[in-house]
Amino acid sequence: FYGIYYPFNNGFSVCVRRTTIFFIWFISFIVALPWIVYFDLVPIWEDVDDIKVCVEVWPNEKASQTYFLAVNLGLQYLLPLSIIVFFYILLFIKIWRRKMPKIVRQSSDDTLNDWNTRIVEKSKIKVLKMLIAIVSLFALSWLPLYAIFARVKFGPPFDESSFEGEFLIKITPLAQWLGASNSCVNPILYFFFNAKFRAYFKKAIRKNIFCFNDSVKSKKVKCSNETQV
């Protein structure tokens, strides 16, 4: 965001970066501190003490619900989603207001000017689609997991042997995987929406492949020379 919105600034100083990283880790530690206190190993079956699972053991149901609303749902889902939407809207406004270079706009060829205008408008629409895709995927990736947690926290108790209980038990790992998979989605979106990103990515892949092949060939030649000696 900073690089696009302020392209001619040098960015933040090292001190500001270190301070920001420190506060991020400090706040994360404070937010996760209740997990250290209220998570415990509990036997799965009452008559078998050897098999245990780590679960939440809150002093009361209200404390569990409050922590879920304030931290899990608020700080870890709704707040990041709101921040992403806010800054992406600013990015889109900044990009949409950009105009073609003055030299291009002053061209005497009307056909060329129209063609350049269409190219710029098309690129802006592509950026808009990419931003919408990033926000939508983030929201949809984590929504099933938080919906399951909300059902468990605020819904009536359910029997694990019932249809709903079996469904929630089976779907929860998939929802966790779906949320975690969002961490690797953005580069894939950049690859499909950004031609420059695709070009640099392909160039990096080819370079690494060539370096690997050259390394293998050099090792083979070295081994062959040592064998002959």
pLDDT averaged over the chain?
A: 79
Q: pLDDT at residue 65 above 70?
A: yes
pLDDT digits (tens, 9 = 90+) for 167-219: 888 898 999 999 988 888 878 887 777 777 778 777 877 776 665 455 545 55
Q: pLDDT at residue 78 above 90?
A: yes
Write the burial class of residue 143 (CB in 10 Å: 0-12 exposed, 13-18 middle, 19+ buried).
middle
Provide the pLDDT for residue 22. Answer: 94
Q: Could you give the CA distance from residue 186 to residue 204 in angstroms, rounded to a whole number? A: 18
Q: Please count the other Cβ atoms lying within 10 Å of the Cβ belonging to residue 220.
A: 10
Provide the pLDDT for residue 108. Answer: 54
pLDDT digits (tens, 9 = 90+) for 36-51: 888 888 887 777 677 7
Report domain extents, the chain.
1-57, 71-193, 197-229
Q: Provide CB contacts within 8 A for 8, sequence distance 6+.
A: none
Q: Could you give the CA distance from residue 115 to residue 101 in angstroms, rounded to a whole number? A: 14
Q: Could you give the CA distance from residue 28 to residue 86 in angstroms, rounded to a whole number? A: 22
Share of the chain above pLDDT 90, in %: 17
Q: pLDDT at residue 81 above 90?
A: yes
Q: How far is CA 39 from CA 56, 111, 137, 150, 158, in A?
A: 5, 68, 31, 18, 21
pLDDT digits (tens, 9 = 90+) for 101-145: 554 455 555 565 666 667 767 777 887 888 888 899 999 999 999
